[in-house]
Amino acid sequence: MEEDYVFKIVVIGDSAVGKTQLLGRFTRDEFFLDSKSTIGIEFQTRTVDVARRRVKAQVWDTAGQERYRAVTSAYYRGALGAVLVYDITRRRTFEHAARWVDELRAHADKSIVVMLVGNKADLPRAVSADEAAAFAEEQGLFFSEASALSGDNVERAFLRLIEEIHANVS
Ligand code: GDP
């Protein structure tokens, strides 16, 4: 059956926070030990049902471009949602989330829906959930911690994002 909507969702955040693994977990329910096996693939899709509509989520990966600060406006073009990922074990990746929000404000559509994800929740933390939740609230982002490794909360975070986008467009 044809889908009713296609939503472009971009995954952003510092290098090695787990962007590729989160995407793989959501679209294929997989975690790759060789984490860069998807390099070169620009996006993956998964179709989900939201409010009796079929939504194809087209989830884009930076494919390592963020290492060279070369995430271009083309990457953000047409994106309705963003998953902004930091690594709860590395405080700097959380501190950089503010920069990624600035990137979005500069390059993405004003109405883009953003889900802040504190990944690697299976490991000892260096950032409290309260602090991240406060930052998310101040910036108007949704927030969830998750683990691409265990799968905890990954589906929930993506589905919540898709539901919020759907609420905006329908
Ligand atoms: P990217 O550069 O942001 O796309 O990060 P990757 O998806 O390549 O992941 C970077 C590293 O973190 C890899 O070694 C992954 O195996 C590891 N990793 C990713 N997600 C998790 C997670 O939820 N828990 C743990 N323990 N390791 C993870």
Q: Give the sign of the dihedral formed by CA 25, CA 99, CA 125, CA 33.
A: positive
Residue 83 sits at the vertex; the CA angle it makes with 40 and 29, to the nearest 5 degrees, is 65
128 CB near ligand 1 (under 6 Å):
no
Name the residue with higher pLDDT: 91 or 75.
91
Contact (CB, 8 A) for 11 and 59 = yes
pTM: 0.94
- pLDDT band at 41, cuts 50/70/90? low
Determine the distance separating the centroid of ligand 1 and the alpha carbon of 102, expressed in angstroms: 24
What pLDDT, on a 0 to 100 scale, did the predictor assign at position 37? 47
| Mean pLDDT of the 109-134 span | 98
Ligand 1 atom with the smallest distance to the CA of 14 is: 3
Q: Does the ipTM surpass 0.95?
A: yes
Tell me the CA–centroid distance for residue 168 and ligand 1, in Å. 31
Closest-lying ligand 1 atom to the alpha carbon of residue 150: 23
CA dihedral 158→164→166→169, nearest 10 degrees, is -140
